[in-house]
A and B are shown apart, each in its own frame.
Chain A
């Protein structure tokens, strides 16, 4: 084969492999877009946590020291270690500005401000929060919960 033939041959092989590579890239990207998204569960997770805390406050006698960490988690059947390890947030206050307030009954986790970010609602990297209000014995409780837990995949 002459030199020009050899060069043409190499160009053909390159373009052939390039087309295959682009085809593979398109298929992989397409599949990842369709099947790669995780099932968004943070909102549901923080709602359940909020419900459990509301239920706990309503069904327990709120004595002095109820919101002490040793008492509260036991009374509400919550595993503090699991909550801490998995980026959950809890804050209970008597005032409406609970998310920003520095005066609270009990608090776990940080970055509560992200609950108010408008941009965070569509951003999956941010925690999803649930805020509720209950009244017991003429005392108001504002409960803020959030979840930022992700699934863990291991081999």
Chain B
């Protein structure tokens, strides 16, 4: 093989190593970005804390919770709309949180025999200008009505 051919081989081999290395670091960067924005951790946290709030609530209560952090995480995860970040399933008595773009939900059940209605996120409604999750607690209905 002539010298130019050998030189071309060396360049080509190193280029492949470099391409693999760049792809590897891009993959790792995307993985770390997804993990460290903490969507899964915050979904877990909010699901459990909201379930606890519902467990301690009484029919007739109107509850407002500061969910500013959840909306920040959702925005970082490029979630299109805040309408489905928090959902209550009155049939199975559970609250589901989705702060990621893929639509994965984290759900936790509550045992208080109540239904949750009229749940919505009120943007900028807290005293500090943060976002609030608002919902009403009513007695368990035989016919299920969602908010």
Contact = CB atoms under 8 A, between A and B. Distances in A.
Given A27-B31, A82-B110, A153 B105 contact: yes
B116 to A, nearest CB: 13
A153 B21 CA distance: 33
A17 B24 CA distance: 10
A79 B113 contact: yes
Interface string A116-137: 0000000000000000000000
Which interface residue of A28, A85, A151 has the most chain B CB atoms within 10 A?
A151
Given A35-B36, A49-B55, A78 B108 contact: no
A154 B140 contact: no
Interface string B37-80: 01011001101100110011010000000000000000000000
A154 B104 contact: yes
Contact of A155 (B52, B92, B93, B102): B102
B114 interface: yes
Interface of A: 1, 9, 16-17, 20, 23-24, 27-28, 31, 35, 38-39, 41, 44-45, 48-49, 52, 73-74, 77-79, 81-83, 85-86, 88, 149, 151-155
A35 B111 contact: no
B140 A79 contact: yes
Given A1-B9, A35-B41, A155-B104, 20 more contacts: A20-B24, A23-B24, A27-B31, A31-B31, A31-B32, A31-B35, A38-B44, A39-B44, A41-B48, A41-B108, A45-B48, A45-B51, A77-B114, A79-B140, A82-B110, A149-B108, A151-B47, A151-B106, A152-B94, A152-B108
Contacts of A83: 111
B109 interface: yes
B48 A28 contact: no
Interface of B: 1, 9, 13, 17, 20-21, 24, 27-28, 31-32, 35-36, 38, 40-41, 44-45, 47-48, 51-52, 55-56, 58, 92-94, 102-114, 140
Given A20-B20, A31-B32, A82 B106 contact: no
Contact of A151 (B28, B38, B107): B107
A89 to B, nearest CB: 12
Nearest to A17: B20
A23 B112 CA distance: 47
